């Protein structure tokens, strides 16, 4: 009888312990579920961040590749500009030599003509000497004009080369350069000037606009034509409204050669 009671008590105690264990497990289930959900969310966020990081890394690599390509193209263009500038400089030197030679020949012919006029030369001989003088003068004019074209071309190439070597380098314009505003567009802040390539204007060259000896603004050349150019007003330099007839002069004049 006692044994039976002991067994019953033991069974009841086991059931109570099992029920208590189940109760404790049920109490921990929400916490475990929350922990699992939190870990799952953290994993999703981590995977999203990883995917975003990979995407950004891919973009960065593409941009780096593009930058390297652009750098290579810029270097190639700079090398071409240097080569062209050297060629133009060599050609200008050759023309200078030819000009000096032609000038000397003209002076010699003039001297000979003056000397021959004082002699008893025939009119035909004097006429031939005069024709030789005219031919020499024409040759000088052609060489001078060609030299001016080459000088302007060389100046453009040197200006482009300065941009490749140092974007912050000021473009030098002829110190004697003078011009006037012929058109003003206040809406888009640009002006048209009556000076162009023939006078030595270069793209990205800066000019000071003045009226009555007082500074009005500063403009930077954006487009150069044969006898005129288009320039934009430089931000921060607008001290007044430019008008037609305002005078312009180089902001960075080249030193006298």
Q: Do 148 and 201 sit in the same domain of this protein?
A: no
Q: What is the pLDDT along the chain (257 residues), one digit of tens a residue?
A: 676 676 676 676 666 666 666 666 566 666 667 777 777 777 777 778 777 777 877 777 887 788 778 777 777 877 787 778 788 778 878 888 888 888 888 888 777 777 766 666 666 666 776 677 777 677 777 666 666 666 666 666 665 665 555 555 688 899 999 999 999 999 999 999 999 999 999 999 999 999 999 999 999 999 999 999 999 999 999 999 999 999 999 999 988 75
68: DSSP letter? H
Q: Do 160 and 89 sit in the same domain of this protein?
A: yes
d(CA 219, CA 202): 13
The domain boundary residue, chosen from 111, 142, 165: 165
In CATH, what number is assigned to the domain containing residue 217?
A: 2.40.30
Q: What are the C-alpha distances in Å from 53 to residues 20, 50, 57, 100, 163? A: 49, 5, 6, 69, 37
Q: What are the C-alpha distances in Å from 207 to residues 76, 136, 137, 253? A: 31, 39, 36, 9
Q: Cβ-count burial of 168 within 10 angstroms (0-12 exposed, 13-18 middle, 19+ buried)?
A: exposed
Q: Do 132 and 184 sit in the same domain of this protein?
A: no
In a domain, 9, yes or no: no
Q: Do 187 and 161 sit in the same domain of this protein?
A: no
Q: Do 143 and 100 sit in the same domain of this protein?
A: yes
Q: Do 147 and 199 sit in the same domain of this protein?
A: no
In a domain, 222, yes or no: yes
Q: Do 88 and 146 sit in the same domain of this protein?
A: yes
Helices 123-165 + 2-117 axis angle, to 10: 170
In a domain, 64, yes or no: no
Q: Do 159 and 107 sit in the same domain of this protein?
A: yes
Q: Domain of 201?
A: 179-250
Output the pLDDT for position 224: 93
List Cβ<8 Å contacts ≥24 apart for 126-130.
Answer: none
Q: Do 185 and 137 sit in the same domain of this protein?
A: no
Q: Do 147 and 192 sit in the same domain of this protein?
A: no
Counts of helices then strands in the chain (DSSP H, E) = 2, 6
Total domains in the chain come to 2
The domain boundary residue, chosen from 165, 191, 221: 165
In a domain, 184, yes or no: yes
Output the pLDDT for position 16: 61
The domain boundary residue, chosen from 107, 132, 165: 165
In a domain, 75, yes or no: no
In a domain, 11, yes or no: no
Q: Do 211 and 160 sit in the same domain of this protein?
A: no
Hey, CA dihedral for 244, 242, 215, 250, is it positive or negative? negative
In a domain, 87, yes or no: yes
Q: Do 105 and 132 sit in the same domain of this protein?
A: yes
Angle (CA) 18-22-25 rounded to 5° is 140
């Amino acid at each position: 009888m006692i044994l039976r009671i002991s067994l019953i008590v033991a069974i009841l105690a086991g059931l109570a312990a099992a029920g208590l264990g189940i109760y404790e497990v049920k109490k921990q289930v929400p916490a475990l579920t929350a922990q699992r959900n939190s870990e799952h969310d953290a994993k999703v966020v981590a995977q999203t961040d990883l995917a975003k990081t990979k995407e950004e890394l891919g973009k960065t690599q593409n941009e780096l590749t593009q930058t390297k390509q652009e750098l290579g193209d810029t270097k190639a263009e700079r090398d071409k500009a240097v080569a062209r500038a050297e060629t133009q400089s060599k050609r200008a030197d050759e023309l200078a030599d030819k000009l000096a030679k032609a000038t000397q020949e003209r002076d010699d012919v003039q001297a000979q003509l003056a000397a021959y006029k004082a002699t008893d030369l025939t009119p035909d001989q004097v006429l031939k000497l005069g024709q030789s003088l005219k031919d020499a003068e024409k040759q000088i004019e052609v060489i001078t004009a060609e030299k001016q074209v080459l000088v302007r071309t060389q100046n453009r190439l040197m200006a482009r080369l300065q941009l490749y070597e140092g974007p912050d380098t000021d473009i030098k314009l002829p110190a004697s350069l003078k011009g006037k505003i012929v058109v003003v567009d206040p809406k888009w802040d640009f002006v048209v000037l009556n000076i162009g390539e023939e006078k030595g204007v270069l793209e990205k060259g800066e000019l000071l606009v003045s009226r009555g000896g007082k500074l009005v603004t500063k403009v930077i050349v954006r487009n150069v034509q044969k006898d005129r150019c288009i320039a934009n007003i430089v931000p921060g330099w607008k001290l007044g409204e430019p008008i037609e007839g305002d005078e312009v002069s180089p902001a960075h004049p080249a030193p006298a050669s």
